Structure 1
Amino acid sequence: MLRLVNASRGYDWGSTADIPRFLGEVPDGKPVAEVWIGTHPLAPSTDDDGTSLQEAAGELPFLVKLLAADRPLSLQVHPNRAMAREGFAAEEAAGIPLDAPDRTYKDPHHKPEMAYALTTFDTLVGFRPTAEILRVLIGLNTTMTRKLAENLNASPGFPGIVKLVEQLLAEPPSVDEIAEALASCRELTEQGIDIKRAYVTALEIADYYPEDVGVIISMMLNRLTLQPGEAAFLGTGIIHSHLKGLCLEVMASSDNVLRAGLTSKSLDPAGLVRCLGTGMSRLARVTPEPFGFSTSIFSPDVDEFALAVSQCSDGYRDHTPLPPGGKRILVCTGGEVVVVNSAGERIVMARGDSVYAGPEDGALTIEGTGEVAQAYQPTSDTVVGELIDLVPPYEERMKRSEQRLTQDRRDRGPSAR
């Protein structure tokens, strides 16, 4: 087993306090947005001697991040496998350095991901249903939002929503049009009127990006709040923007991000629309499956990663076994524990500490009083958790809508035909 030293990222949306406190450090007033734990070449973890984890473990298929947001992240999507391979090859051929600000594809991998909340975690993920977006837009009653609603009503469903986003990015509303929409949001929320937090979200984002088209697009997205211990899975091609909170992210080992707003970083609106156009991906809460009586396994049925969260207590008669795995990354998310491998080697972990364990370490157990999250590559024996779709697939919604319409016609009789 190896105790890990990990790189942090100080993006402007990061929290000045959440990650330092989680790691047991004194905040210095500077934002800390992410800590990367894994073998990604842009920020590989090392052992105590400074040796790269990749030398000991090879390339891991997953990447773990500690993420702390104090303000909205960029409006973004992650590419699928085909887009990632194509985009990476093109930028490599063009000679764009990996760390260049305008580089989009940092590797040839897709990037499905799962967020496991450590505090209350707010995020925008995926498009609302057409009818809900129409209610949001029509409720604002401005010239710009009425026009958007007309366009969506003429071309409903997921393809129409993507087309509307493309229109907004190609011809963004003017500063005055955005300000008028925000004034309507403010007036409505002061009257206690909102539609699933669409208006209040736009106002919160406008505190940081008052003139950005992302303020308007944000109202078309689902707002999801995860409580500590809950997880959500985002497939590739899901538009999202995390808003606030601390979470543990587990993802395929990739840093490919296509952005279209709410950021000072390089934008690729055409790439984002192209990625959305590949089709609706899975967006769901992940229901954990039990392993023993002290472990919950969050497995969203992807090849690269699963997450097991285990608790232990000094009151337990036996040590707590962790789920079996090959190459594993352990993060202590609370208390203080001792992780023990099959050879009896012991490493003490306090909150924020991370450890790599390989196949040679065999079965792992923990003792003490605390909690450990273990990221690992699932096997055929890993039980897949139930995924509860936040938005049913477009085809399913259309089928249900047609069934309701047909039933309504039957109920009203021949005169309705």
Structure 2
Amino acid sequence: MDRLANTVRPYAWGSTTAIPELLGTEPTGEPQAEMWMGAHPGAPSRIDRGAGPVSLAEAIDAEPEAELGPDTVRAFGPRLPFLLKLLAAGSPLSLQVHPDLAQAREGFADEERRGVPLDAPHRNYKDAHHKPELIVALTPFDGLCGFRHPAQAADLLEGLGIDDLTPYVDILRATPEEGALREVLTAVLGAEHHAIAGTVERATVAAGQRAAEGGPHADAYAAYAGIAHHYPGDPGVLAAMLLNHVRLQPGEALFLGAGIPHAYLSGLGVELMANSDNVLRCGLTPKHVDIPELLRVVRFEAGDATVLRPEDVAGEEVYDTPVDEFRLSRFVLAPGGAPRALVSRTPQILLCTAGTVRLHRADEAPEQSPEQSPEHGGTELTLAPGESAFVRAGEQLTLSGAGTLFRATVVA
């Protein structure tokens, strides 16, 4: 097992305090949006097995079956198929959607054939992989997830009292679900910015007033007004009003499958995703929005957002998701509890988010002190909040201590 040295990404939407507070470090004053744990080429974690630091990606490239196990290599090739993150949203992320695997392969192949550079701002598909995601709240966490039922979206828009929104309300009330959602989203995103900016501004002011008045939609109105504060005049604000507003409590989660429009608004969470960069944006961003491709990928299916809670499986709390690239679970270790055995035929990344957790090689006594073993590639590691470790496939461990540990691994 290897302690990971991880990169924190300074995206503009990141919180300046949430990740430093978890790590016990001083804020720098700059946004700290995501801490990446894995072998993504953009910011791979680093390990040190005694010959000097190397990236986890380099270690996997050198011996893929030894690091990942034959099952993972057979299923996903010689690459770690997931990326684990700490995500700290201080302001809303872009409204976005991800393709399914077939769409990703087709889109990537098409742009490669057409010679679209990988770093081109109008490029949609950076790779041939899908990008399902799971976010677990560590603090109260706000987000948008999936379409509201058209009648509910109509009520929300009508409640703003803005005449400019009446055509959208009429469509949502009179057109079958899929057609209604498609038609309104197309109209909003396809409108000229100067033509719709005034409508967005009036809707923003009204949403703030409705939030202050209270009522059943007050939290949602407050969220939309907050979004508009960060993206004034952006048509994505109206698109966001078609989506469910969700507030997660610590330990609760959302799974974002292919075609589901979503955005994270605020809070700190643990995010696990398939290792891909494929994002199609719907608004709330200065970046490229490819409306025809977006409409091809979005699933115009309405329904309440499903909040996931972990299921206990022999003391391991598992977040059940319908993908093979990743599996997320957590251990909540009580003081004085018996050590927990941990073994997997697939690679694992372990992240401590509270307390102190000690990892022991299964053939070593848990009482051995950390000073008796090397910190990297050794027989024992102690993890404090925000610290993480990579565990090679097949390595047997026990867990002890008092704290919370998230476990990311592969279903293969």
TM-score (structure 2 length as normaliser): 0.85
Which portions of structure 1, spanning 4 or more consecutive aligned residues, are displaced by more than 6 angstroms?
Answer: 278-282
Which residue of the partner structure matches residue 235 of structure 1?
A: 257
2:336 paired residue among 296, 306, 315: 315
The aligned runs of 1:70-219 (5 Å cut-off) are: 70-172=90-192, 173-193=195-215, 195=217, 197-219=219-241
1:6-405 equivalences under 5 Å are 6-48=6-48, 49-54=52-57, 55-56=59-60, 57=67, 58-172=78-192, 173-193=195-215, 195=217, 197-277=219-299, 284-293=306-315, 295-316=316-337, 318-322=338-342, 324-344=344-364, 345-362=379-396, 364-379=397-412
Deviation at 1:46, TM superposition (A): 2.0
Greater mean alpha carbon deviation, residues 99-108 or residues 28-37: 99-108
How far does residue 79 in structure 1 lie from its aligned partner after superposition? 0.8
Rounded Cα–Cα distance in structure 2 between residues aligned with 1:165 and 1:65: 30
Task: Check conservation: 1:162, 1:277, Cα contact below 8 A.
Answer: no
Closer/same/farther in 2, CA of residues 252 and 212 from structure 1, 3 Å limit: same
Conserved in 1, the CA contact under 8 Å of 2:244 and 2:304? no
Mapped contact 2:104–2:129 kept (Cα < 8 A) = yes
Residues in 2 aligned to 1:105 and 1:13: alpha-carbon distance in whole angstroms: 23
Q: Is the 8 A contact 1:236 1:281 kept in 2?
A: no
Deviates more, 1:202-211 or 1:188-197: 188-197
User: Structure 1 residue 86: deviation in Å?
Assistant: 1.8
Helix, strand or coil for the counterpart of 2:201? Answer: helix
Question: Residue 104 of structure 1: CA displacement?
Answer: 2.6
Q: Which moved more, 1:36-45 or 1:112-121?
A: 36-45
Paired residue secondary structure (1:150): helix
**TM-aligned CA deviation for residue 4 of structure 1:** 1.3
The question of whether the paired residues in 1 share the 8 Å contact of 2:94 and 2:282 is answered with: yes
| Alpha-carbon spacing, 1:341–1:102, altered in 2? closer, same or farther (3 Å) | farther
5+ residue gaps, structure 1, are 380-417
Count of residue pairs brought into register by the alignment:
376
- Cα gap change, 1:359 to 1:63, in 2 (>3 Å): same
What is the distance in 2 between the residues matched to 1:237 and 1:247?
22
Kindly state the Cα deviation for residue 162 of structure 1 after the two structures are TM-superposed: 2.0
SS at match of 1:20: helix
Structure 2 runs not aligned, ≥5 long: 61-66, 68-77, 365-378
Distance 1:263 1:361 in 2: 43
**Offset, 1:20:** 2.1
What amino acid does structure 1 have at the position aligned with 2:401?
Answer: G
Alignment deviations for residues 256-299 of structure 1 (CA, whole Å, 9 cap, x no partner): 11112112333223322221158679953223221323x21112
* CA contact 2:246–2:305 (8 Å) conserved in 1: no
Q: TM-score, normalised by structure 1?
A: 0.84
The percent identity for this pair of structures is: 41
Q: Closer, same or farther in 2 for the Cα pair 1:103/1:10, shift >3 Å? A: farther
Whole-angstrom distance in 2 between the partners of 1:237 and 1:282? 15
TM-aligned CA distance change 1:340 to 1:101, over 3 Å:
farther
- Describe the SS at the equivalent of 1:197: helix
**What is the Cα deviation at residue 134 of structure 1?**
1.2
**Structure 1 position 351, deviation (Å):** 1.0
User: Residues 64 and 249 of structure 1 are in contact (CA less than 8 Å); yes or no, is this contact kept in structure 2?
Assistant: yes
**Residues 210 and 218 of structure 2 are in contact (CA less than 8 Å); yes or no, is this contact kept in structure 1?**
no
RMSD: 2.2
* Cα deviations by residue, 1:178-210 (Å, 9 ceiling, x for unpaired): 222223323333433452633222211121112
Q: Hey, what's the Cα distance between the residues in 2 that align with 1:341 and 1:234?
A: 35
RCO higher in structure (CA 8 A, sep ≥6): 2
